[in-house]
Structure 1
């Protein structure tokens, strides 16, 4: 039926969020009484004399509220309520059952069917007005929440776009995963646990005689850590040697490596001197002389690199020192070792050894050695990808790694 319309003289009384009301009753007299009250209060009113007719109207019009008699021939009010709740809607619809039933079991059945409120017949105008106002408050709250959710979704989408762009920028910090240096090769792996991460790996070579390789883990997670990695990448970049704190210009105007301990000290001084930097970082950094196989290593709070000999034997190497950025006057020690043809050395972040496993506990050093042993036949990036895949298979299903994972693999072929 067409609605009986009356201008709303008091929008606050009727509730601007509750306008369109459907009245359902097989009694024409009851419909006329309820419609008169609703029109007087300023609502737009539709009428239906059966549940089937009411359901057909509900499929075409999104009513704000439905007042339905419980006892009707054919489809009663309880079944109408059930089917009303199954209709696709963009907003919530308030449903009131009019009934002469006041026993607890009837109310329970009505609530199970999806009813929001009940009115006992004969209907009191004051009580009906109070129940309508209660429904208006509920709809107002629901719509405010929906508007807030929409705003939050828009904000989330904007943040998500920014984070995806930030990830693209961070991935650009590691432009290549593999590079050959005469008698050696270096492979890199960087796997953030979120959009962006606080790990960083890299390599650079100022001349044909050597290569520098680093693996860094900034404290914390997220955007702040990612910004720190971008800053550190600028200090250790290979594209602009004059700006790389790990390099210095010799008298012949050629660039050469600074001792790794000096590099750690310089980086520590820069981070400690900045009052706006609250984060610290751990670092494993080495230089490799390509002719002799001599490795000079500094380990600043970072997990000890794993030396993998050509015969398959392994050992953790490197003297531990303080993380970078904790104390301005920190000092760092170096470790020297020689690589023979076929030897490899693996730098990695604690996201690997501290990964949570399905059976409980962490991977730890022994687990890392076991995983590496399974990957020994692979080389280069294939070795790192295989190592990461095997690690991911040990974590709980459906639960990604909780920390960033990074690694750098140096493989020495010998002169």
Structure 2
């Protein structure tokens, strides 16, 4: 460890080696100079950890001027300055302290007192230096963190754009069906994903997936699922299979699709599970076949103002114990309205900070049918005001509302 550097300044040419020899005996590096007009620049180059001044009464004015100039230099602003005064120097202490002196010692000074004073001040210098180094290291760390956060935000923004691009934008190609859709992740990216597509000229497919949690990992799996659940038979889709005879394809039943996904996306492999609602709908006859892998129960709002839930049994996708999926079959009537949603809807709170639940949701659906008879603006728009009043969504929110009007 490098010895502390002490500068001894004298206000006269009298060479007093007593303190110089004592400091060296204690293991300090010692430099001795005369306090004159040219010494300040030399002191700045030396960068001592402590300045010790020996003076007499007649040289006090010169010393005060020297100290005041030293304190104006940034490098010497915090350097301890100890002044050793004659035994009658009490009257000059106030002026010295005002000029920037750290400690005044009156002669005679004992060895123990001098050593304790010097060691104490040097320890303070060491602690200040460590604190400054820590502050600088913290500033560098914060700068690095802010830079990494800005880079992460940039990548998350790009990921959000990719995820948004996978959300269907144009649904007019589905015959006899009108849609209202709302997608809002709780962060920049989320674990919800959905798609609506034609399996052939008569059959529409619709799925909604909610991956456990939210954030980058959930979003990546959601994107992977959207790329996997495509209609292209040539890409090995689980939604359709090729046949050797006309029409050369077969639409896979919803329950078979779920069983396949449960094997393909095991929790052991991906460390995530997800819920899913998948349905196949005949747009000409109104027959709806669906399966629900632990996804919230969709609502079916009938034209006769009754409200039903699509509650066929199913467990989350990804677990080995998952089994016993039920495939539900319903017959829609013209004007019937279907609401499919993720559990982010049930996390919404009303003006009284009360969360949504199944009973409240069905009650709202019944009031909607009674007021509008299923006509007018979509039922899902009733939740827009609730969404706008949330300080932050607790979970990703996705809603799809479909009206069949053949």
If the length of structure 2 is used for normalisation, what is the TM-score?
Answer: 0.70
After superposition, residues 302-317 of structure 1 pair within 5 angstroms as 302-317=295-310
What secondary structure does 1:320 align onto? Answer: coil
SS in 2 for 1:340: coil
Matches of 2:118 and 2:337, distance apart in 1: 87
Q: Residue 381 of structure 2 corresponds to which residue in structure 1?
A: 386
Q: Give 1:386 shift.
A: 2.1
| Matching residue within 207, 219, 228 for 1:214 | 207
Give the whole-Å Cα distance in 2 for the aligned partners of 1:248 and 1:160.
41
Gaps of 5+ in 2: 1-37, 51-59, 81-95, 107-116
Q: Distance in 2 between matches of 1:214 and 1:354?
A: 21
Match of 1:46 in 2: 72
Q: Secondary structure at the match of 1:389?
A: helix
In the alignment, the residues of structure 2 paired with residue 278 and residue 174 of structure 1 have an alpha-carbon distance, to the nearest angstrom, of 24
C-alpha contact 1:353 1:367 (8 A) present in aligned 2: no
Which whole-Å CA distance do the structure 1 matches of 2:225 and 2:198 have between them? 17
2:252 to 247, 254, 258: 258
1:233 is paired with a residue whose SS is helix
Mapping of residues 28-107 of structure 1, within 5 Å: 31-32=64-65, 34=67, 46=72, 65=77
Q: Distance in 2 between matches of 1:407 and 1:210?
A: 21
1:242 and 1:267, CA in 2 relative to 1: closer, same or farther beyond 3 A? Answer: same
Q: Over residues 129-166 of structure 1, what are the superposed CA-to-partner deviations in whole Å (9 max), with x where a residue is unaligned?
A: 44343322222211110011001111111111111111
CA 160–179 in structure 1, closer or farther in 2 if over 3 Å, else same: same
Q: Aligned residue pairs: how many?
A: 331
RMSD of aligned residue pairs (Cα, Å):
3.8
Q: Which residue of 2 aligns with 1:228?
A: 221
Asked if 1:280 is matched to 2:316, the reply is no
**What does the per-residue CA deviation read over 1:319-350, in whole Å, with 9 as the maximum and x for residues that have no partner?**
12111111266231111111111101111111
Determine if the alignment matches structure 1 residue 146 to structure 2 residue 130: no
Q: Please tell me whether the aligned partners of residues 285 and 299 of structure 1 are also in contact (alpha carbons under 8 angstroms).
A: yes
Contact 1:246–1:263 (CA under 8 A) maintained in structure 2: yes
Distance 1:46 1:99, change over 3 A: closer
1:154-169 matches, cutoff 5 A: 154-169=147-162
TM superposition shift of 1:8: 6.3
Cα distance, 1:4–1:256 mapped onto 2, change above 3 Å: farther
Report the 3-state secondary structure (helix = DSSP H, G, I; strand = E; otherwise coil) of the residue aligned with 1:145.
Answer: helix
Structure 1, unaligned runs of 5 or more: 16-26, 39-44, 48-61, 69-97, 101-117
Against the structure 1 CA distance between its residues 298 and 385, is the aligned structure 2 distance closer, same or farther, given a 3 Å change threshold? closer
Separation in structure 1 between the aligned mates of residue 205 and residue 156 of structure 2, nearest angstrom: 30
Q: 2:180, 2:360 → 1: CA distance? A: 22
Q: Aligned partners of 2:287, 2:264: CA distance in 1, in Å?
A: 28
CA distance in 2 between counterparts of 1:308 and 1:234 reads 31
Seen in structure 2, the aligned counterparts of structure 1 residues 154 and 374 have a Cα distance that, compared at 3 Å, is farther
Q: Are residues 1:205 and 2:198 paired?
A: yes
**SS where residue 195 of structure 1 aligns?**
coil
- Residues 147 and 373 of structure 1, relative CA distance in 2, 3 Å threshold: farther
- Partner residue, 1:403: 395
Q: In structure 2, what is the equivalent of residue 353 of structure 1?
A: 346
TM-score (norm 1): 0.69
Contact 1:371–1:390 under 8 Å retained in 2: no
| CA distance 1:136–1:406, change in 2 (3 Å) | same
Task: Note closer, same or farther for the CA distance 1:35–1:141 as it changes in structure 2 (3 Å cut).
Answer: farther
User: For the pair shown, which has the larger CA radius of gyration, 1 or 2?
Assistant: 2
